Structure 1
Amino acid sequence: MKRLLPMPGKRFASFTAAGALAVGTLVATAAPASAAITLPPQAGGFDYQIGGAYTPPSGVQIVSRDVSAAPASGKYNICYINAFQAQEGQDGDWRSDLLLRDGNGNKVVDPDWRETLLDLRTPDKRNGVAAKVKTWIDTCAAKGYQAIEPDNYDSYTRSKNLLTATHAQEYIKLLSAYAHSKNLAIAQKNTPELAGNRVANGLDFAVTEECGEYEECGDYAGPFNNRVVNVEYTASGMSKGCPEWNGKISMVRRDVYVVPQGASGYVRKTC
């Protein structure tokens, strides 16, 4: 599921960053998380700060911030990276052959966010994309984050049928194995249809957008044992999600552009 609004925080992120085949067709199993991996506290107070860092409000235990930012002191910190699409205007940061192109040689671009999709169709291409993303994972680890949030897992749904769910999963397994080798947990971002494969894909918890609004929270809560960190962007989403999920998963409402506290348009509400 992708919202038909500009991705919150995309314009601020300073780093760039599948379905014809059956989603259950997996060739390899991702490396399991080690004992050194720390999961986010279940139903812990959450703040989504990928649009700009600020002092977490009272009661917040979990914070997600862009890889360019420092983690919040004393909190469980999730490091946001755009792992499946190139940031708008930053195609030049990628090898040309790693940008997804159609049969006419034209780039395949996410129409809502104007981001070129990354090409995950072959093992060589997946390894090429992962090599760059791994440097960002290194940065997350060096800064002291506990987990990573690789965005746009569902890019295959916007790929003009060039990418499949299997491509996405084979690629995410490269990232999960590497994150675990750095003692980082790794989140599944959205994509409820793949939540049931989370163990094979090496994914530890879920970061979701609007699971209340779209009545999808249960799709994640079961497979991830309620280790779900959710952000809503509307009062409607909170009114749908809070009655059933408050105290079971983490849930917060933020403004669409997740601007820092004190900036115009800032919104933060809890159940």
Structure 2
Amino acid sequence: MSGRAVTCAALLTALTAVALTGCSGGAGRPDDGHGTVSPSRAVWKPRPGLAWQWQLDGRVDGAADVPVYDIDGFENSAADVARLHRAGRKVICYINVGAWENFRPDRGAFPRAVLGEPNGWAGERWLDIRQLTVLRPIMERRFDMCRDKGFDAVEPDLVEGYGNDTGFRLTARDQLRYNRMIADIAHERGLSVGLKNDLPQIPQLVRDFDFAVNEECAQYDECGELSAFIAAGKAVFHVEYAEPRSAFCAESRRLGLSSMRKEPELGAWRSPC
């Protein structure tokens, strides 16, 4: 490698470190009646434009040279997170908060009364998110796991059950209440938290969440709805599965999204804008 290449690589590494350090914000939200809130670290605030890797299929491989990784919280260990941290990465913990999964080690913690209809994924059933007192301690333990493994943030999945056939009469108000509870649980633990999809409720929730994660907004001509996060200085981590990069990358760059093409299995392969 030439001396110029080494110098440029060192400069890029330094700039990435500065950008990530500058994304740290203040402490978590005030106590909401569920106990004293005293997060031991500042909540990370990812800014628009950060490149990312999203790998939920198996243990992370760490090969992508990007500053942000989003990986499965159960399938990856504290050592995996530490390995990514040593490489200068921030790490997001994927956790399903909207559906029961029969393959998770805590599957027995969910009472039968909160389990609804299958959601289309093998072994998963929608949760009755109205039952906050039942679900809150379960989600608190899951987020404790993310914190204790050293993750910087949480990606809570399936936070838009009110728009699906769950088997329960969920309303938009039920979803707002649940999603805000999820954000509070994360912030109480010093974790930042992303709003996954749920585009119709972005105006009400953009202040509660620190970034957004979106699937296929380009395919459905919805990416403009994520502009509220960008305007607030918050990253939007976005993927497309079917659209070619030529169909969405130019618009993604214009909007300030962190976009890439992935295969639906969410393995290590990625094709960024």
Q: What's the TM-score bracket when you normalise by the shorter of the two chains?
A: 0.7 to 0.9
Considering fraction of residues, name the structure with more helix: 2
Partner secondary structure for residue 154 of structure 2: strand
Return the offset for 1:43: 1.0
Letter matched to residue 185 of structure 2: Y
Return the offset for 1:86: 0.6
State how far apart, in whole Å, the 1-side matches of 2:56 and 2:143 are.
16
Residues 145-197 of structure 1: CA deviation (Å, up to 9, x unaligned): 11101100112222256111211111121121121111111110001111111
Is the aligned partner of 1:162 residue 2:169? yes
Return the offset for 1:113: 4.7
- 1:82 is aligned to 96
Q: Normalised by the size of structure 1, how large is the TM-score?
A: 0.74
- Out of 203, 209, 212, the position equivalent to 2:218 is 212
- 1:268 is aligned to 270
| C-alpha contact (below 8 Å) 1:87/1:116 kept by paired residues | yes
Q: Larger C-alpha radius of gyration, 1 or 2?
A: 2
CA 1:184 to 1:115, structure 2 compared with 1: closer, same or farther past 3 Å? same
- Out of 196, 204, 209, the position equivalent to 2:203 is 196
1:1-271 matched pairs, under 5 angstroms = 31=29, 36-52=42-58, 53-58=60-65, 60-68=66-74, 69=76, 70-71=80-81, 72-73=84-85, 74-88=88-102, 92-100=108-116, 108-113=117-122, 115-121=124-130, 125-158=131-164, 159-160=166-167, 162-199=169-206, 202-225=208-231, 227-236=235-244, 238-246=245-253, 248-260=256-268, 267-271=269-273
Q: Percent identity?
A: 27
| C-alpha contact (below 8 Å) 1:204/1:224 kept by paired residues | no
State how far apart, in whole Å, the 2-side matches of 1:146 and 1:89 are.
24
Letter matched to residue 171 of structure 2: T
CA 1:65 to 1:88, structure 2 compared with 1: closer, same or farther past 3 Å? same
CA 1:145 to 1:89, structure 2 compared with 1: closer, same or farther past 3 Å? closer
CA 1:142 to 1:161, structure 2 compared with 1: closer, same or farther past 3 Å? closer
| C-alpha contact (below 8 Å) 2:109/2:138 kept by paired residues | no
State how far apart, in whole Å, the 2-side matches of 1:94 and 1:161 are.
16
Aligned residues: CA RMSD: 2.4
CA 1:199 to 1:190, structure 2 compared with 1: closer, same or farther past 3 Å? closer
Partner secondary structure for residue 176 of structure 1: helix
Return the offset for 1:235: 3.8
* Mean Cα deviation higher: 112-121 or 129-138: 112-121
CA 1:126 to 1:40, structure 2 compared with 1: closer, same or farther past 3 Å? same
| C-alpha contact (below 8 Å) 2:128/2:168 kept by paired residues | no
| C-alpha contact (below 8 Å) 2:50/2:235 kept by paired residues | no
State how far apart, in whole Å, the 1-side matches of 2:29 and 2:171 are.
22
Partner secondary structure for residue 265 of structure 2: coil
How many residue pairs match? The answer is 223
Structure of greater relative contact order (alpha carbons < 8 Å, 6+ residues apart) = 1
Return the offset for 1:199: 4.1
Q: Normalised by the size of structure 2, how large is the TM-score?
A: 0.74
CA 1:120 to 1:218, structure 2 compared with 1: closer, same or farther past 3 Å? same
Q: Point out where structure 1 has 5 or more consecutive residues left out of the alignment.
A: 1-29, 101-107, 261-266
* Mean Cα deviation higher: 70-79 or 43-52: 70-79
| C-alpha contact (below 8 Å) 2:94/2:154 kept by paired residues | yes
| C-alpha contact (below 8 Å) 1:109/1:116 kept by paired residues | yes
